Amino acid sequence: MKLGFRDGVLYDKNRSNWDANGPRPISWSLWYPAADEARESDATERSWFKKAAIARNAPIRPDLLPHPLVLLSHGTGGSAAGLEWLARRLAERGFAALGVNHHGNTGNEPYRAEGFACLWERAPDLSFMLDHSDDWLGDLSCSIDMTCVFAAGFSAGAYSVMLLLGAVAQFSQFEPSRMKSGGARGPREFPDLADHIPTLLRSSDVFRDSWSRMSKSYRDDRIKAALLCAPGRSVLGFSEESLKAVDAPALILVGDADRAAPAEECSAWLHARLRRGSLSIFGGGLGHYVFVPEGTALGLAFAAELFTDPPGVERAAIHDEIADLSAALFQDSTVEAIA
């Protein structure tokens, strides 16, 4: 199969960017099965991630039925490109996959404390893409099924997806009142995050407006089922009442040696509060970053810890298994919706 790819940027005029001088940007990437005659080319930019060849702006493969859509939400400080491994595997299985870069919380632009603290702003990015599908679908509008939509997220992306399913946040993970003496004051990518929040609450109207929306419901009933990869401690901020009301199927996957988001503390906690959740813990000493792409020589040189697995583990094989599990979940949910 040839892999089609398109990308672009949309702007949410109902939300400000963090600088308060324009609308919130939402850059996006779309992967899909390309037509057989499409011409592929290898990625030319240097990257930490191994990527497949793509057919940029190619026509979509003309299948009998439209391709279901999977929304993708990256981990904190990551990017849509960090889920290319899942997107292309879903495309091989007949899906289209749409990822976005979450403003202020993505490596595609300078990090912002606001983007790391206000994780609830990520869910509306995904709903916005569904609301404005005419702006990115173009000639693919008859070939991607906008009535059959799923979501998948890694780490903070799993938090984003849970918001779409109806989870409601009671508090932000790193707000100062929640800090334990000697505990982490921010994620790996922004270790002093908690120290910025009081100043932002005093000085930034945009931040205060977002902070006031913390406990809003971002449920989007267009999402039929979800894949949650290694949800982080941020999910502990969800109200248990809202989790019990989630009625879409959710598959939670996590490694048994995840130190960033320990399985028992995060994934098992979430699973116990979902009526239609299922949990699979991968054995073999797998850590948090098994859910990011395989690394290039450049990636291994600069951040070997992101791309190194225990001896005998083939990350590509784990990714194949994850894609099989997620495709089965989405296909079963499609049949259920039709029935």
Tens-digit pLDDT profile for residues 275-300: 999 999 999 999 999 999 999 999 99
Sign of dihedral through CA atoms 109, 259, 150, 85?
A: positive
Contact 246, 275 (CB under 8 A): yes
Task: Name the pLDDT band for 98 (thresholds 50, 70, 90).
Answer: very high
Residue 45: the pLDDT is 73
Residue 326, pLDDT > 90, answer yes
Scan for tokens 């000639």, then name that residue.
139
Task: Name the pLDDT band for 339 (thresholds 50, 70, 90).
Answer: low
- Please report how the helices 156-165 and 122-131 are oriented relative to each other, as an axis angle in degrees rounded to 10: 60
DSSP-assigned letter for residue 177: G
Query: What is the Cα–Cα distance from 251 to 229, expressed in whole angstroms?
Result: 8
Residue 242, pLDDT > 80, answer yes
Whole-prediction pTM:
0.96
Task: Name the pLDDT band for 143 (thresholds 50, 70, 90).
Answer: very high
Query: What is the Cα–Cα distance from 293 to 222, expressed in whole angstroms?
Result: 28
Query: What is the Cα–Cα distance from 114 to 206, expressed in whole angstroms?
Result: 9
Token duo for residue 168? 């409601």
Mean pLDDT of the chain: 95
What does the CA dihedral 77, 14, 29, 165 come to, rounded to 10 degrees?
70
3-state secondary structure at position 150: strand
Query: What is the Cα–Cα distance from 94 to 89, expressed in whole angstroms?
Result: 9
Contact 327, 93 (CB under 8 A): yes
Token duo for residue 262? 């320990």
Stretch 316-339: mean pLDDT, rounded? 88
